[in-house]
Chains A and B, each alone.
Chain A
């Protein structure tokens, strides 16, 4: 089974900051890596698929990179609506999937 880790587990930042969240897979997953944003009381929302592709409607301040086992989600200039929890998820081992443990991004 593929294990996913994320760092940091929590992050405090300010509006306008550039932030990066890391995700690591226990095995090579090529670029089969997705990112989701979840706000309190809401369902997750797909942000980025296949490592670096922005889902329709997602602002361009979000970007993703990486391959193999190491991946990064970057928000270039934090906006108030970006404070949320972010999850990575591998889609390499379909039909089985694994999510990372999440990174909670809150306001400094």
Chain B
């Protein structure tokens, strides 16, 4: 059974930083590009960032470019999102998801990590 488990969410003040982690099991982690997708309370899905299997092909949404940094450690089956200069608009549930290159879609999802940015 594939499991993606996010951690590191919580409350942060505006301008501060948080680091999210996602640990994968049940899949060959380095076969997959990995992504973060967020969902603000009561809102839709927003793609945030993605990273290729070998840490190449990194992309960011304009809303987080220059503030967020995605990385991965294939030896630890782990994905990370360093979030700096947080704003209240970054308040959301952050999902870790795997991108299946054969179907070119997000096939597995974690349950999400809640990030709240508030003073």
Residues of A within 8 A of B (CB): 1, 32, 34, 36, 38, 43-46, 49-50, 53, 55, 85, 87, 89, 91, 94-102
- Checking A49, A85, A101, A102 against B104 with a beta-carbon cut-off of 8 angstroms, the contacting residue is A49
Nearest-neighbour CB distance to chain A for B89, whole angstroms, equals 17
Contacts from B to A (Cβ < 8 Å): 33, 35, 37, 44-47, 50-52, 57-59, 61-62, 95, 103-107, 109-112
- On whether the beta carbons of A55 and B107 are closer than 8 Å, the reply is yes
Contact B35 A97 (CB under 8 A): yes
Selected contact of B59 from candidates A49, A96, A100, CB within 8 Å:
A96
- Cβ-defined contact, A44 with B105, below 8 A: no
Closest chain B residue to A6 by CB distance? B44
Inter-chain contacts of B61 with A (CB < 8 A) = 96
Question: Given A43-B112, A97-B50, A91 and B105 touching (CB < 8 A)?
Answer: yes
Contact yes or no, B104 A45, CB < 8 A: no
A42: nearest residue on chain B (CB-CB)? B111
Q: A95, B44: Cβ atoms under 8 Å?
A: no
B105 in contact with A43 (CB, 8 Å) = no
Q: Which of B33, B44, B58, B112 makes the CB contact (< 8 A) with A87?
A: B44
CA distance A50 to B100 in the complex (A): 12
Closest to B102 in A: A49
Q: Once the chains bind, are B47 and A98 in contact (CB under 8 Å)?
A: yes
Q: How many angstroms from the CA of A4 to the CA of B114 in the assembled complex?
A: 26
Residue among A89, A95, A96 making CB contact with B52, cutoff 8 Å: A95
Known: A97-B47, A102-B45. A34 touches B105 (CB 8 A): yes
Judge whether A95 and B57 touch: CB under 8 Å.
yes
In the complex, are the beta carbons of B33 and A95 less than 8 A apart?
A: yes
A5 to chain B, nearest CB (A): 12
In the complex, the chain B residue whose C-beta lies closest to that of A93 is B59
Measured between beta carbons, the chain A residues less than 8 angstroms from B106 are 34, 36, 44, 46, 89
